[in-house]
Amino acid sequence: MRIKRPLCLLSALAMALSLSACGPEATEERDTPSPDISPSPSHNIAPPDSPLPSEDQVTFASASAFVLEAIPLWDQVALEEGESAAVLDASGTRVLVVTYSDYLPDDPALQELGGGLRSHRLLICDWESGEVVTEVPISQEPAALCTDGVLLEDGAVRAVLTGPDTDTPTASIVRFSGGGERTALFTCSGPDLTAHAPQLLPMEDGTLLFSCWDQPGQSFGVSALSPGGEVTAVYASQQMEEFFSMDLRGNGERFVYCVQADGRNTLILGDASSVLTSIPLEEGCFPYAFGLTEEYVVLSLQTGAAGAKENRMCLYDLTGALLLEQRNGPYFQLISDGGQALFMTDTNQNAAVLSFPEGESGLTLKKEGVELPNGAVTFCPLTAATCLAACGDGVPALYLITALP
């Protein structure tokens, strides 16, 4: 399976941005054939003739320690004056980077929004050699903000909010090839932007899932974009009061999403074509984060009545049965490594790997710290035992995390 994490910097900004209208209409920016949007191969999508991993192969769940290697990408990749950068995705030795800057003092959008960011370029870089493989400019008329992206074998798919200073801002999911040709796959528009920027989640069958919000149509949920560019709804609700967030997590085969159904926060578990089950939480429970391993649904939440709240970690099987619950957390991100572990951060932005080995009395929680610089972090798993981490805002430090036996 192919796993990626939504960009930490732009995800935080997206809490202040939203789409008021989304629709399934797709319009092409150029006359290009229907693109193949199959995600770029990684350890999570092995070629059909690839050997299965041996039982003694080290993974993040089985590792006894982790080693970090600094990646000097910015020594080779030049940023323009005033530009910052953020990592959206990584696969193999390639990394997808968006550059951005603050609005200039004379920019109309600055007066419109009272501040904010605008994106400039998308770069596909080789983090080993420092070579910029592909560079694609992002529209500046009107201004645009790239909020998410996924690498493909040839190019990438990006989610972009366009025209925050116009009467009808839009959000688009756009595919661009290695040669720079662009095709709009999904477009939304509306009079307002708040916290509803789509999040992208690649699946191992080549489908790209994304969270969506359609205020005029009074619906929200999760949609699927086929490799041929066809959009279909996987989960859709017309009860707008049930909306919880745009967060979308997965393990390559399944996704997990959260809604507020019947007065309770409820996890929705599905695959690329349908909803498989739902997990209603106890009344008053608030999810901090949720994620999926190959076998489990993992939830960090706050539970209890006012004045008696506590943080807990819950573990469910894929049918929704509760397997483990204990005081712990809160934990955030919960990004699958493609196997039996999750990458996470805590309230102090310390990074760690979570796994759930069998103990003498059943499942237990194992938490191993990763000595990354303290701060915001983007996790991009590469193989069963390696992960690229981008740490900090502005010009993030890059590290290769390797699991040791």
**Do the Cβ atoms of 287 and 281 come closer than 8 Å?**
yes
Give the DSSP H/E element, type plus range, for residue 249.
strand 249-250
Residues 334, 41, 57: CA angle, nearest 5 degrees: 65
Burial class (CB in 10 A: 0-12, 13-18, 19+), 51: exposed
pTM across the whole model: 0.84
Tokens of 238: 């017309």
Tokens of 309: 């709240």
Dist CA 3 CA 45 (whole Å): 10
**Would you tell me how many other CB atoms lie within 10 Å of the CB of residue 62?**
20
- Collapsed DSSP state (helix, strand, coil) of residue 345: strand
Show pLDDT as tens, one digit a residue, over the chain (405 residues). Answer: 456 555 444 444 433 333 333 433 333 333 344 455 565 544 333 333 334 344 458 999 999 999 999 999 999 888 888 889 999 999 999 999 999 987 655 655 544 544 467 888 999 999 999 899 999 888 766 678 888 999 998 899 999 887 655 666 677 898 988 777 888 888 876 555 556 788 999 999 999 999 988 766 778 899 999 988 889 999 999 898 899 998 999 999 999 999 999 889 999 999 999 999 999 999 889 999 999 999 999 999 998 766 678 999 999 999 999 999 999 999 999 999 999 999 999 999 999 999 999 988 889 999 999 999 988 999 999 999 999 999 998 899 999 999 999
Fold of 8-21+60-101+117-404: Methylamine Dehydrogenase; Chain H (2.130.10)
